[in-house]
A = this chain, B = another copy of it.
Amino acid sequence: MSGDLAIGIDIGGTKVAGGLVAPDGTVLERTRRDTPHRSTAPHVVEDVIVDAVTELLAKAQTPPVAIGIGAAGFVSSDRATVVFAPHLSWRHEPLREALRRRIELPVFVDNDANASCWAEWRYGAVRDESHVVMVNLGTGIGGAILTDGQMQRGRFGIAGEFGHMQVVPEGHRCECGNRGCWEQYASGNALVREARSLIAANSPLAADLSAMVEGDASRLTGPMITEAARGGDPIAAELLAEIGTWLGVGLANLANAFDPGSFVIGGGVSAAGPMLLDPARAAFRRHLSGRGYRPEASIVKAQLDNEAGLIGAADLARTEVIAS
């Protein structure tokens, strides 16, 4: 394996994933931590990052040239500061500066969805596409826009926050402080919320799901629902189809706005595959303005799964160092 290595760290709502990444996108070494709860101080998250980086540096055969951080939050356009992270404790957190004091390598911070979109375009599902929109369904919804090989970060670095576009007036409340955000209808959290409320209501339809958690709705997770749907549970499949339908409605909105050639769908919920994406494609076609008179974007599943974020963060940082 030749060429410049880079370290990528992906900070999600529940886990911190790190990797030592080769220029061809191969992950040579891996490490993983839990994300500290959002009630903890910002420096606790920094400690976790530094710890993961130190471990990967020790394992590297040649010294990496850069460290890329993908964070689930709004990152400033200079790629130094996390200005707001709904699922973390960061508010105007000068992450790059804080890490630079502790790590002797160039550090670049990016939104985690930007990082995974970059990875899917460089190495994954949308390699030949000039106009990509990525939508990651995890705890919430992350998003990114890539046009002609350039990440579109917006004027202040915050483009791609599709999850907080309002799709239902006066709808479900969201961590961001608003109501009716898309991620309240088409994310892992939305899937789990709906399933839990079925269990809590003692619906006979939810008997199988309820049995999986011995009646304790709070123990239910998204992967369990996907597993139940794969096993033939009709209500689990229906819940996934509902999420998929809202996904398709939102993608039609984004097609009207951006007109991409491909949507790439990542994040934990995308593991449900066709059970999610077929309803999404159907809703997309039904809601697309001018349908039948225009070319339609494809909707494809991400290929790099839960490593896209760290691979992309590493490659974005490497690209930045090589260009400078």
- For the complex, count residues of A whose C-beta is within 8 A of B: 53
A166 with B252: CB separation less than 8 A: yes
Please provide the chain A residues from 75 to 121 with a CB less than 8 Å away from any CB of chain B in the complex. Answer: 83-84, 86, 91-92
Q: How long is the Cα–Cα vector from A129 to B253 in the complex, in angstroms?
A: 25
B162 with A256: CB separation less than 8 A: yes
What B residues does A156 contact at CB under 8 A? 259, 261, 294-295
A294 with B83: CB separation less than 8 A: yes
Q: How long is the Cα–Cα vector from A143 to B258 in the complex, in angstroms?
A: 11
What B residues does A165 contact at CB under 8 A? 253, 256-257
Query: Is residue A176 within 8 Å, beta carbon to beta carbon, of the partner chain?
Result: yes
Most chain B CB neighbours (cut-off 10 Å) among A129, A157, A160, A178: A178
Known contacts A74-B290, A83-B290, A84-B294: does B158 contact A259 (CB below 8 Å)? yes
> Closest CB-CB distance, A250 to chain B, in whole Å?
9
Query: Is residue A279 within 8 Å, beta carbon to beta carbon, of the partner chain?
Result: no
Query: Is residue A164 within 8 Å, beta carbon to beta carbon, of the partner chain?
Result: yes
What B residues does A168 contact at CB under 8 A? 169
A158 with B84: CB separation less than 8 A: no
Most chain B CB neighbours (cut-off 10 Å) among A256, A259, A290: A256
Please provide the chain A residues from 165 to 183 with a CB less than 8 Å away from any CB of chain B in the complex. Answer: 165-169, 174, 176-178, 181
Q: Would you call the interface of chain A mostly helix, strand, loop, or mixed?
A: loop
Instruction: State the number of copies, please.
Output: 2
What B residues does A92 contact at CB under 8 A? 293
What B residues does A252 contact at CB under 8 A? 166
Of B154, B178, B290, which is within 8 A of A158 by CB? B290
B258 with A154: CB separation less than 8 A: yes
Most chain B CB neighbours (cut-off 10 Å) among A143, A145, A293: A293
What B residues does A130 contact at CB under 8 A? 155
Of B154, B159, B162, B259, which is within 8 A of A154 by CB? B259
- A interface with B by C-beta (< 8 Å): 74, 83-84, 86, 91-92, 129-131, 143, 145, 147, 152-169, 174, 176-178, 181, 249, 252-254, 256-261, 287, 289-291, 293-295, 297
12 contacts between A and B (CB under 8 A): A74-B293, A86-B289, A91-B293, A92-B293, A131-B154, A154-B259, A155-B260, A158-B256, A159-B257, A164-B290, A165-B253, A177-B289
